[in-house]
Amino acid sequence: MVPYPYRAMLAICSDLDETPDRHAYWEIMRFLNTTEQTAMGPGVGLEVGNTIYFDMPPDQFAYWNTDDAGREMVRTLIRSGHVDCLHSYGDLATTRGHAGRALDELARHDCKLQVWVDHGTAATNLDPDIMHGHGDEVGHEAYHADLTTDYGVQYVWRGRVTSVIGQDVRPRLRGIFDGTHPVASGRTLLKEAAKHRLAQAGNTKYAMHGPNETLRRTTLRDGRGVYEFMRCNPHWGGVSSCDQGRHIGKVLTHNMLDHLVELEGTCVLYTHLGKIDNPRVPFNEEAVRAFRRLADAFHRGRILVTTTRRLLGYRRALREIERGGALDDRGLHIEVTAKVGEASGGTLSAADVAGLTFYVPDPANTHVTVAGKTVGDLKRNPPDHTGRPSVSLPWPSLEFPIR
């Protein structure tokens, strides 16, 4: 289950392609993560991350392209957890040396990123089939997977996108068809059904679509174990439709959000927030309404909106923890331990188990230990929509760096 009191979980995983400059990047982040006055009105007060890359053509915002103030902004947002993904090393990063230079810069400034997202057809991509990368191909000039995973990257996106609303639940295709666009949405529905049939037949390209899970363990071509994750674009036109900031109002609809809540699923939303029409006012009115719609679902305790890294860590914790329950002189004792597999990338952190929620008959007489340590600030929750009370580990919010 997702952390109490929420029924679903969503991360906006935005590739920064075509973001014009640091000012637009910052204004987007300010609007999404604060309630300050912005060019689009008061911010929506969510928790939304972003991506960064390094070597790009000069007309796009990137780490090496921006000025000192822009680079300091990126580093500050990495440290706060609001820039949480490497979007490859960029179109112009074609060698191991480019990757090493970027990683040295991050390490020099004590900036840690654990999520990798393939970009376009960048040479440093990690997927050979969909994203045409060579980053994990030993002997290729763009090989860097050893450097990148040693630096700390554990989670990778290699091009897998689904139209199915809600992962980590039984896949249901009925949310794809849109009666107002029967031909296009019907085509999208058939494509998604075909992916599921291929997955059941053993097709490796669409293997993640079958179980409809956010995460799976996988092995890169150089033998390194990582977690691969799948993203979702539930637009009726298909996974590449309206995947932009200028069109996100057509994706974050009432129907989509209500369906996600109904299914009690998770969603790593595939989009490009920096693809906009006006750099001074990044989001149009339709997009602003969509984000306010999402914020309403968050503040009403329906959808927990968080960063990609936090969502992936939580889903991984649910996969890897072991829990047991026994009665002692204090009541019900829930003992949580983590199991570490060969491809787990190390032990779970305290941040990964934040928000874990357990239904119990009597929250007042329940205590929880994690790795042998008692949770002192355990949350004791009244009955939720199921009618059952619970206890949960705290879910602290990230603190956005106001400048």
Measure the CA dihedral 106/108/111/114, to 10°: 60
Rg of the chain over all Cα atoms, to the nearest angstrom: 21
Measure the CA dihedral 212/218/221/226, to 10°: 120
Distance between CA atoms of residues 45 and 292, nearest Å: 9
Residue 115 has pLDDT above 90, yes or no: yes
Which residue did the predictor score with more confidence, 290 or 351? 290
The model's confidence at residue 175, banded by pLDDT at 50, 70 and 90, is confident
Q: What's residue 340's pLDDT?
A: 40
Regarding beta strands 225-229 and 155-157, do their DSSP bridges make them parallel or antiparallel, or are they unpaired?
parallel
**Taking residues 272-280, what's their average pLDDT?**
97
382 contacts: CB under 8 Å, gap ≥ 6: 389
Per residue in 217-247, pLDDT (tens digit) is 999 999 999 999 999 999 999 999 999 999 9
Token readout for 369 is 């230990």
Task: Name the nearest CA neighbour of 333 among 377, 304, 375.
Answer: 375
Per the CB < 8 A criterion, the answer to whether 229 and 281 are in contact is no
The model's confidence at residue 129, banded by pLDDT at 50, 70 and 90, is confident
**Taking residues 368-385, what's their average pLDDT?**
92
95 contacts: CB under 8 Å, gap ≥ 6: 141, 142
Per residue in 178-213, pLDDT (tens digit) is 889 999 999 999 999 999 999 999 999 999 999 999
Output the average pLDDT for the chain. Answer: 94
Token readout for 319 is 């996969």
Q: What's residue 343's pLDDT?
A: 37
Token readout for 225 is 């174990």
Residue 275 has pLDDT above 70, yes or no: yes
**Taking residues 17-27, what's their average pLDDT?**
97
Per residue in 304-361, pLDDT (tens digit) is 999 999 999 999 999 998 888 888 888 899 999 875 433 345 577 888 999 999 999 9
Full set of structural domains in the chain with CATH: 8-306 (3.20.110), 321-392 (no CATH)
pTM confidence score: 0.95
Residue 266 has pLDDT above 70, yes or no: yes
Q: What's residue 342's pLDDT?
A: 37
Q: What's residue 403's pLDDT?
A: 66
Lowest-pLDDT range of 3-12, 150-159, 168-177: 168-177
Chain center to CA of 188: 23
Distance between CA atoms of residues 164 and 356, nearest Å: 25
Q: What's residue 341's pLDDT?
A: 39
